[in-house]
Amino acid sequence: MTTTREIMTPNPRCIGENDSLRIAASVMADLDVGALPICGEDGKLKGMLTDRDIVVKGIAMGRDPESTPAGALANGRPVTVSSDDDVRVALDLMREHQVRRLPVIEDRLLVGIVSQADVALTLSAAATGKTVEGISR
């Protein structure tokens, strides 16, 4: 059995729930990523923030990127997977919820992210294709 821990990108950079959208966008640019986990003052995952969220839910809705906190765009409960779960659980969740990035939790704290790229780099072409197809429906 391959666990989620074996394919995840460990120690992801979080954006603080009180950090502005501008700071989040700057961090995304520096890291060359399209999404960041939003972490609270307690270190727990509050949600995920994508570059598209910043544009569509932030700027297009008239929110000021300098004063709008990233946490303001953290809607609902994020879909997560345990680090000890079989990787098939992660793939099923990614397909079911049509998410390209899945936070990995251990002892209620964020320890990694499983992305489409992680799937493509570590799993078979068939597993990758099925996952991408399910996410992109």
Q: How far, in Å, CA of 7 to CA of 2, rounded?
A: 8
Whether residue 2 has pLDDT greater than 80: yes
Total-model pTM: 0.86
Q: Looking at the domain that runs over 4-135, which CATH code has it been given?
A: 3.10.580.10
Token representation of residue 53: 């969220």
- Band of pLDDT at residue 56, cut at 50, 70 and 90: very high
Confidence of residue 42 (pLDDT cuts 50, 70, 90): confident
pLDDT at residue 131 tops 90 = no
Instruction: Give me the sheet containing 101-106, strands edge to edge.
Output: 9-10, 109-115, 101-106, 81-82
Which pLDDT belongs to residue 93?
A: 95
Q: Using 50, 70 and 90 to split pLDDT, how confident is the model at 6?
A: very high
- Quickly tell me which residue has 């251990």 as its tokens: 106
Q: Tell me how far apart the alpha carbons of residues 34 and 2 are, in angstroms, rounded to a whole number.
A: 26
Bridge partners of residue 109, in order along the sequence:
106
- Residues written for the chain: 137
CA–CA distance, 80 with 94 (Å, rounded to integer): 9
Q: For 77, list phi and psi in degrees, rounded to 5.
A: -100, 130
Confidence band (pLDDT; 50, 70, 90) for 16?
A: very high
